[in-house]
């Protein structure tokens, strides 16, 4: 059988310092770049929070989400991607953009997340291959292993039939939309202490 040609399409950066730049991506199994329409909605949601943010992409794939965040002046991005060709393409695209405030990790996301982090993140993207129960496992690991700064924003993109993500009680739902076969949601993480403090302030008011 002839080997499939993995060089394929492009991803376009919508706005920011690299606005309208097009970068190559690979046509690999499970690689499903977030559409321009959904990305535009997402970054409208994040408009006041992305500049200066530390960003984590748990399933980087084409890099569309992190590259968009970096274009809009996120301070740092960590991208985890299992497939070697996709990870190498991410590194090449960062070099093309002369972007030095990003890290690409070619590894299994669940294994990386299980190791925990000494530095938290302000914005987290969870956009895994569909129908493999990866979103729920990722949410559990992020919650358990100190990846989130207080008030971190977490974007979750799943198949539309997944009606609930079983997020922890201190992940506050902010937004939810559907686009074709995709459901995408935005949550905000609040540390237990700050959640209790805010509840007490509300009662006192």
The parts of the chain modelled with pLDDT lower than 70 are 1-8, 27-33, 163, 193-205
pLDDT of residue 204: 47
The model scores a pTM over 0.75: yes
Strand 171-179 relative to strand 182-189: parallel, antiparallel, unpaired?
antiparallel
pLDDT of residue 26: 74
pLDDT of residue 43: 96
pLDDT of residue 23: 94
pLDDT of residue 25: 85
Which two structure tokens, joined as six digits, stand for 72?
A: 């809009």
The three-state secondary structure class of 193 is: helix
CA neighbours closer than 13 Å in the CB half-sphere of residue 121: 24
Question: What's CA 99's distance to the chain center, in Å?
Answer: 18
Q: Which of 171, 189, 162 is nearest to 49 (CA)?
A: 189
CB 123 within 8 A of CB 155: yes
pLDDT of residue 95: 97
Which two structure tokens, joined as six digits, stand for 43?
A: 């970054």
Give start and end residues of each alpha helix (H) in 13-96: 36-45, 64-71, 84-96
């Amino acid at each position: 059988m002839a080997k499939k040609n993995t060089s394929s399409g492009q991803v376009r950066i919508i706005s920011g310092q690299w606005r309208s730049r097009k970068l190559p991506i690979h046509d690999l199994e499970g690689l499903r770049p977030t559409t321009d329409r959904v990305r535009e909605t997402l970054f409208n949601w994040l408009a006041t929070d992305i500049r200066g943010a530390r960003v984590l992409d748990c399933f980087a794939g084409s890099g569309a989400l992190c590259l968009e965040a970096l274009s809009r002046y996120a301070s740092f991005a960590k991208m985890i991607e299992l497939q070697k060709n996709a990870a190498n393409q991410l590194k090449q695209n960062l070099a093309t953009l002369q972007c030095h405030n990003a890290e690409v990790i070619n590894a299994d996301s669940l294994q990386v997340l299980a190791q925990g982090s000494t530095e938290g993140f302000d914005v987290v993207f969870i956009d895994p291959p569909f129908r493999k129960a990866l979103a729920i496992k990722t949410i559990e690991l992020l919650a358990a292993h100190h990846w989130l700064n207080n008030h971190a924003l977490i974007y979750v993109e799943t198949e539309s039939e997944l009606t609930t993500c079983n997020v922890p009680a201190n992940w506050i739902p902010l937004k939810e939309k559907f686009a074709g076969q995709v459901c995408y949601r935005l949550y905000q993480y609040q540390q237990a202490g700050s959640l209790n403090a805010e509840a007490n302030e509300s009662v006192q008011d």
